[in-house]
Amino acid sequence: MREPGRSSSRAARAQAGWLFGLSLALRLLVVAFAARRFPPADDGTFYHAVAVRIAHGAGYTWAWPDGVVTYAAHYPVGYPALLSGAYALLGAGPPTAMLVNALLGGLLVVGAHSIALRFGSLGRARLVGLAIALHPTLLLYTAALMTEVAAAAVLLLLASYALFVRARPAGDASAWRLPLGLGGALLVLIRPQLLPMLPLLGAVAVAVPVDASARRQLGLRLRGATEVLLLALACCAPWTLRNCAKMDGCVFVSANGGWNLLIGTLPQGKGSFAPITGPTVPTECRNVFGEVGKDRCFGRAAARRIESAPVAWLTLAPLKLGQLFDHNAVASSYLQTSNPSLVNDRARTAISTLETLYSRFLLLGACVALLGAAPNKVGRGAAVGAALFTLTPWGYLAQLGVLGALLAQKPGPGRRPLAFMAASLLGLCVVTHVVFFGAPRYALVWLPWLGCLLALPRENGVNRRPSRVF
């Protein structure tokens, strides 16, 4: 892993500064155009309404049309809570939320640039930063009051910080891992399914003595993983206790896991979202009205459906992955839903074409980088296979090829940590959405990592520290 000297550190900070400024400026232009033209849409309508209530001191509650107010926890609390602070300071409205998104988008670019610097040259890091800063989906999605970019930014910053701690002199780094646990709690409150990433980041954030035995290395990494995970869980515990006290049952972060599991068993969704209404509502759940109770009821019904027809459920997996990775039209879809008169079908097609082409060429660049970094024939074969599918309708096969190429490097938290974190995240995305269901926006948390893969060191050993066992 590359360790820049003092002069190159100054150049790196300057480069990070102008990349952040560029990415923020571009996103502020989007905000200036979109602020009064694109109201909240899809799940953003709920996030905005909850953020307004939190900002006004009403907490995470929901006001029904008949005037009844109830406590809620259907969606994760992290993103609306984040917006509520800005709403309290700057005014509760979509323009304020978009400003928060613009800042998060700029920080996402900084995180990707910082990760790239750990493994490549300033030129390579600049390429990574520009690739993310100029991505049309990430740029236009600034107008969306949705959680994906927030989760992606927090995860990239945490990964960058984990690599920073790893590069410190060997010694007790427990105090240095505290921000990982605190930031990890925020990540979980924004997107709970990313919880498994926290112990992996904790294992990366360990400075292991060069002469440490394999057993000693393993022990240190397990300690780092445990510290980060336990701290994050402890920080999330007050919210869980709130749910236990205020809801009709205990729930860790949000009460929609059972919903999503049931949706993922419905063939009419073709691997993506399908509403649970009318005949799709399980009979035993129709008179269950509490959020937690209904979610649990849906979860039990989904488990029965899977148990009774496991093959039918498994055959939906390619469709789910196709929904996740084949269609890159994320921003265009949201913008049309928000303002169909401004973003008509023709405009949506133009934007979605730009989104898809940019994403696929970024994916192709990642495949080329993986080919150069591959240590064996299996990795090279997987990278070539992924590249062949990159510009086909079956983008999910290219992503599976990327996963195979990453795993072929036999990465670990100390041995090829970039490949380790990327493979862990991509594998987590694949497993999560095979179990539940897919949609293009859920892949946004993975999208910036394709840019980071451009910084993978070549297998000839240039710009890479000696590999460690773990």
Residue 467 confidence class, pLDDT cut points 50, 70, 90: very low
pLDDT digit string (tens) for 267-301?
999 999 999 998 899 999 999 999 999 999 999 99
For residues 378-393, average pLDDT: 95
Q: What is the pLDDT of residue 440?
A: 95
Residue 404, pLDDT > 90, answer: yes
Mean pLDDT computed over 418-427: 97
pLDDT at 44: 95
Q: pLDDT-based confidence at 470, cuts 50/70/90?
A: low
Q: Between the ranges 4-8, 120-124, 364-368, where is the mean pLDDT highest?
A: 364-368
State percent of the chain over pLDDT 70: 95
Average confidence (pLDDT) over 315-334:
95
Tell me which of 415 and 260 has the higher pLDDT. 260
Query: Taking 50 as the threshold, does the pLDDT of residue 464 lie above it?
Result: no
Name the average pLDDT for the chain.
Answer: 93
* pLDDT band per the 50, 70, 90 thresholds, residue 106: very high
- What pLDDT is attached to residue 1? 55
What is the 3-class SS of the chain, one letter each residue? CCCCCHHHHHHHHHHHHHHHHHHHHHHHHHHHHHCCCCCCCCHHHHHHHHHHHHHCCCCCEEECCCCCEEECCCCCCHHHHHHHHHHHHHCCCHHHHHHHHHHHHHHHHHHHHHHHHCCCCHHHHHHHHHHHHCCHHHHHHHHCCCCHHHHHHHHHHHHHHHHHHHCCCCCCCCHHHHHHHHHHHHHHHHCHHHCCHHHHHHHHCCCCCCCCCHHHHHHHHHHHHHHHHHHHHHHHHHHHHHHHHHCCCCCCCCCCHHHHHHHCCCHHHCCCCCCCCHHHCCHHHCCCCCHHHHHHHHHHHHHHHHHHCHHHHHCCHHHHHHHHHCCCCCHHHHHHHHCCCCCCHHHHHHHHHHHHHHHHHHHHHHHHHHHHHCCCHHHHHHHHHHHHHHCCCCHHHHHHHHHHHHHCCCCCCCCCHHHHHHHHHHHHHHHHHHHCCCCHHHHHHCHHHHHHHHHCCCCCCCCCCCCCCC
Q: Looking at residues 180-193, what average pLDDT do you find?
A: 97
69: which strand partners?
A: 63
- Residue 168: is its pLDDT beyond 90? no
